[in-house]
Amino acid sequence: MKDVLWVKAARKEFETFPAGAREIIQSALVIAAEGRKADIAKPMKGLGSGVWEIALPYRSDAYRVVYAVQIGEAVWVVHAFQKKSTKGVATPLKEVEIIKARLKRIREIAL
């Protein structure tokens, strides 16, 4: 089983999620650490292989956690955010830019 490591800012944002949402997402991350895929995880397009998004509708809100499984020997949680966009299911460009920048930094230090 791989370790689950967090970008500090992602952990801080994740801690603002409701407790029930955090529990469900943490379970999905454990599944990822075991080398499997949770039902609520899907590949994140356009960011390379091994980058996944946990998409959780919870009560009337939507929560997202992005993680990478192919950087070093750990599962890296790169970003966590509450999706507020009313323009469909696409991840907002601002969030994608944050994810790209964090992935670049992690790859530089982990490899």
Q: What is the mean pLDDT of residues 71-88?
A: 83
Q: What is the pLDDT of residue 88?
A: 66
Residue 78 CB-half CA count within 13 A: 26
Neighbours of 17 (CB within 10 A): 20
CATH code where residue 101 lies: 3.30.2310.20
Report the range of poorest mean pLDDT among 35-39, 71-75, 101-105.
71-75
Q: Quick check: 98 pLDDT over 80?
A: yes
Element (H, E) at 3: strand 3-6
Q: What are the tens digits of pLDDT across the range 5-37?
A: 999 999 999 999 999 999 999 999 999 999 999
What's the number of domains the chain is made of?
1
Q: What is the mean pLDDT of residues 61-69?
A: 92
Q: What is the pLDDT of residue 68?
A: 93
Domain that holds residue 51: 3-110
Whole-model pTM?
0.89
